[in-house]
Amino acid sequence: MKTRLLFFFILLPFISFAQTPAPVAATPNPRWQTDFWKAQWIGHPTAPIRSYGVYHFRKSFDLAQKPSRFVINISGDNRYQLFVNGKAVVSGPARSDLQNWNYETVDIAPYLTSGKNTLAAVVTYMAEYAPFYQMHYQFGFIVQGDSDAEQVVNTNNTWKVYQNPAYSPVINDIPKLRTYIVVGAGDRVDGSKYPWGWQEPAFDDTGWSAAKPVGWAAKPRGLGTDGNWNLVPRTIPLMEEMPQRLATVRRAEGVDVADDFLQGKNSFTVHRHHKAVILCDQGHLTNAFPELTISRGKDAVITLAYAEALVDDKRQKGNRDQVNGKQLIGFEDQFIGDGSKQKRTFRPLLFRTYRYLQITIETKGDPIEIHDLTGHFTGYPFQEKARFASSDESLKNVWTVGWRTARLCAGETYYDCPYYEQLQYTGDTRIQSLISLYVTGDDRLMRKAIMDYDHSRFNDGLTQSRYPSADFQVIPPFSLFWVTMVYDYWMHRKDDKFVESMLPGITTVLDWHEKRLADNGLNGPLQWWNFVDWAKWEAPDEGMGGVPKGARKGGSAILTLQQAYTMQRISQVFYHYGKNQQAEHYRLMGARLAKNVYNRCWDAGRGLMADTPDKTGFSQHANIWAILTDAVPVAQQKALMQKIMNEPSLTQATFYFKFYLFQALKKTGMADQFLPTLKPWHDMLAMGLTTFAENPEPTRSDCHAWSAAPNYEFLSTVCGINPASPGFQSVVITPYLGNLEFAEGAMPHPAGEITVRFDKTPTGGLKGTVTLPDGLTGTLKWRGKTVALKEGEQTINL
């Protein structure tokens, strides 16, 4: 959906981040989850605690010998980055809210030495320039030593602090970029005011102030009388960081620059009183910390601008590979040189999203030398463990680009899109979570997302549509998708205590929807933003985009059937945990809602489900839900599915809602038609996109994770691998090869790896192999035939 990003440059002497040891995450000490912390939240003695500022902290201490273990717990508001003896170690905190404020637990022993050691941190407080994803209380920083041996580094007035006057914001907002962008301000940094080398042990901090304790006593969640930062341990791993070079110089004006500059093999000079513009191409979209290294250039103004794609005079993107006749309009940072002959490296505190990075250099009376420009990719440390191959070589690119899309939309939370929002929306996240489970087997970010939404519930009983978010937004259908996310997690992972803890929140969401049913058995008038899809709805009854008819005034078949779909699924979870009365209520209610919609919205003459009882509008969406809920009798579902696929007069699902189209194809046994539906994905590749877009052209976002759904479908639909029972304790494999001659895939399972290979035979049969990990059994279904599957490798011949 839609975000905001605030990025700050950290200006450092030349440092190779790639050569520092990897940060070592440690197990949180239960003591700091139940007791008051001995460390104090600290800030600046005179600076306002809720105004924009960038601050540096330092603490030097002596050790008799290099320790084998030195664990600290650390957090900050808004963001911090910690250096140990000049080396970058850890950034955080993981995004959340004030009632669940994360702290990181890391072992910094690899960075320590005998004798003097120095901890240094930069903490940014973004105030009114903060991104929407950034929730905050006030400026603050805390370090708590894990045991008595580490108490020497506890934050208190023995730490020193300095407010950096070099920073001011660059506004990158909706009026400037003419689109919904809520990622905050960029950075303007005056190098002449910067305290160069502040993180190094040898830096002279005698002029710095003693830090001042701020806020109330530091404490874990659920303890004490005041609720500022309620500290909880981070539940996800630290973010990955990997060196990444830009590919080519696409254009240079006012100076000659070759590609070897981007390879770190050559520098170039811009003479005094001169302007140069260099357009660099990463070759594909990325999330990275750009690092620009310069020398000299006193008072030179360097602007770094970032964009997913270039645009023409009408602000249209067109083919993403083309640069001629196009310009870069995008998010910007700015640096003013200090004229030093020493190399200065400029790096944002937070990452940027870009395929194209443009450097504009305007010198004054001093020439500037540009030594290097590189990047460091960052994101959630997903590991691609799944594999997919087929007789259609073009699907390789769909897989590769889809996985890149999913990766760029995953960090400390899932993101809808990295460039414009970085907000975790439930409708997007349900799809992203399934991709993550199938491709990596890592369920930690999905689990965190489920908890985030549970924490977002407000007095109506609904979850917020996107969370964590400082800007309140509610999409009631997305609350239902949170419920089905819990169902998905229950089906794929055995984690009973966690799943059962979600049932009270689920109940409040379902109660909200049930209380708003009208006398005709369909939804009545609904509040908030009842977003369904960015489809071209006929005569929507409210001015907001993405909303079908019948939401504001009542009577929407689409919204009522989604309610039925949710109740049908979650009733199984309630049965599983012995909540039989509630389970039966939801089961019966789901069936009743589906029947009500059929009775009032089914158009027998057209053989289609209408969007509302007046039967004036018809969409793929209503009919997809009619199949997924059995609102239409099973015997009629194949005929209905053919109409969904072949009637262009229906309001068409966009990339997002095609996920549910794919599920309806599977349910009706017609998923051999799945692969031809991927033409829009092939079209995006032909247009030079290196990630999959939010919408068909023209699109705002070139990277939207809901459009990575084919990666899940290649394994779940083509290879046919799906859980057959809760916790994925058995498997059902129903392959749909369509026009492929063969397909093979592998995916991680909690017990090991599931691998399949299927080939069509000359007579129209199916042969192949299925290998299941130890302890996993199941069935294979194909064209009415069923084969029992056991652990280990087995041959299929049908």
CATH of the domain at 294: 2.60.120.260
User: Is the separation of the CB atoms in 94 and 101 below 8 Å?
Assistant: no
Question: What is the pLDDT confidence band of residue 7, given thresholds at 50, 70 and 90?
Answer: very low
Per-residue pLDDT for 15 more than 80?
no
**Is residue 714 domain-resident?**
no
Residue 404, SS3?
Answer: helix
Cα of 541 vs its chain's centroid, Å = 31
pLDDT per position as a tens digit, 654-678: 999 999 999 999 999 999 999 999 9
Specify the CATH number for the domain of residue 627.
Answer: 1.50.10.10
**Model confidence at 498: pLDDT above 80:** yes
Q: What is the C-alpha to C-alpha distance for residues 601 and 57, in angstroms, rounded to an integer? A: 64
pLDDT for residue 434 is more than 60: yes
Q: What is the pLDDT of residues 295-330, one digit of tens each?
A: 999 999 999 999 999 999 999 999 999 999 999 999
Q: What is the pLDDT of residues 324-356, one digit of tens each?
A: 999 999 999 999 999 999 999 888 888 999 999
Q: Which of 20, 22, 10, 150 is nearest to 74 (CA)?
A: 150
**What is residue 77's predicted lDDT score, i.e. its pLDDT?**
96
Q: Is 254 left (phi over 0), alpha (psi -120 to 50) or beta?
A: left
* Same domain? 228 vs 245: no
CB half-sphere exposure, 498, CA atoms < 13 A: 18
What digits encode the pLDDT tens for the residues 26-43? 888 899 999 999 999 999
| Residue 10 predicted with pLDDT over 70 | no
Residue 381 scores a pLDDT above 50:
yes
Q: Domain ends where: 325, 360, 379?
A: 379
**474: helix, coil or strand?**
coil
Report yes or no on 561 lying in a domain: yes
For 520-533, the pLDDT digits (tens) are 999 999 999 999 99
- Other C-beta atoms within 10 Å of 472: how many? 11
Q: Which domain holds residue 266?
A: 241-379
Do 227 and 291 fall within a single domain? no
CA–CA separation, 749 vs 772, rounded Å?
9
Residue 310 near residue 355 (C-beta atoms within 8 A): no
Q: Mean pLDDT, the chain, as a whole number?
A: 94
Q: Give the pLDDT score at 21.
A: 58
**Which of these, 60, 75, 54, 358, lies nearest to 220 by C-alpha position?**
75
Does residue 640 share a domain with residue 514?
Answer: yes
Range scoring the smallest mean pLDDT among 8-22, 51-65, 780-794: 8-22
Residues 112 and 24 in one domain: yes
Q: Pick from 629, 648, 681: which residue ends a domain? A: 681
Q: Is residue 468 part of a domain?
A: yes
Residue 415: inside a domain: no
Residue 24: its pLDDT value, please? Answer: 72
| pLDDT-above-70 percentage for the chain | 96
Same domain, 630 and 535: yes
Structure tokens belonging to residue 720: 């046919």
CB atoms within 10 A of CB 543: 7
> Are 428 and 452 in contact, with CB atoms under 8 Å apart?
no
Both structure tokens of 526? 């609904």
Is the same domain home to 622 and 517? yes
Q: Are 117 and 157 in contact (CB under 8 A)?
A: no
Residues 233 and 307 placed together within one structural domain of the fold: no
Q: Assess if residue 526 is contained within a domain.
A: yes
Residues 289, 271, single domain; the answer is: yes
Q: What type of residue is 610?
A: A
Specify burial of residue 548 (Cβ count, 10 A radius: 0-12, 13-18, 19+). buried
Which tokens in the block code for residue 752?
Answer: 């090991």
Q: Within this chain, do residues 299 and 428 fall inside the same structural domain, yes or no?
A: no
| Tokens found for residue 475 | 């999409």
Q: In this predicted structure, what is the pLDDT of residue 540? A: 59
pLDDT tens digit sequence for 730-755: 999 999 999 999 999 999 999 999 99
483, 642, 661, 444: which is closest to 572 by C-alpha?
Answer: 483
Q: Examine residue 694 and state whether it is found in any structural domain, yes or no.
A: no
Sign of CA dihedral 170, 173, 179, 180: positive
- 278 plus 224 within the same structural domain: no
Flag whether pLDDT at 435 surpasses 60.
Answer: yes
User: Tens digit of pLDDT for each residue in 594-633?
Assistant: 999 999 999 999 999 999 999 999 999 999 999 999 999 9
- As given in the structure block, the two tokens for residue 226 are 């005041």
Q: What is the CB-side half-sphere exposure of residue 248 using CA atoms within 13 A?
A: 6
Q: How far is CA 725 from CA 566, 695, 785, in A?
A: 18, 34, 20
**Which pLDDT score is estimated for 603?**
98
For residue 16, the model assigns a pLDDT of 36
CA distance 302 to 371: 14
Looking at residue 539, what is its pLDDT? Answer: 64
Highest mean pLDDT, choosing among 112-126, 171-185, 336-350: 112-126
Strands 87-92 and 240-244: unpaired
State whether 603 and 574 are in the same domain: yes
Provide the percentage of residues in the chain whose pLDDT is more than 90. Answer: 92
Structural domain tally of the chain?
4
Among residues 355, 379, 403, the one where a domain terminates is 379
Residue 675, in any domain of the structure: yes
Please report whether residue 326 resides in a domain: yes
DSSP string, 92-137: EPPS-BTTBEEEEEEE-GGG--SEEEEEEEEEEE-GGG--TT---S
pLDDT beyond 90 at 194:
yes
Asked if 469 and 590 sit in the same domain, the reply is yes
- Taking CA atoms, 123 is separated from 8, 196, 418, 433, 471, in Å, by 10, 16, 22, 31, 23
Instruction: Answer yes or no: is pLDDT of 483 > 70.
Output: yes
- At 22, the pLDDT band (50, 70, 90 cuts) reads low
Detail the DSSP E strand segments found in 321-409: 331-336, 344-348, 352-362, 368-379, 387-390
Contact at 8 Å (CB) between 609 and 599? no
Rounded Cα–Cα distance for residues 196 and 194 (Å): 6
For residue 226, the model assigns a pLDDT of: 80
Q: How far apart are CA 657 and CA 113, in angstroms?
A: 55
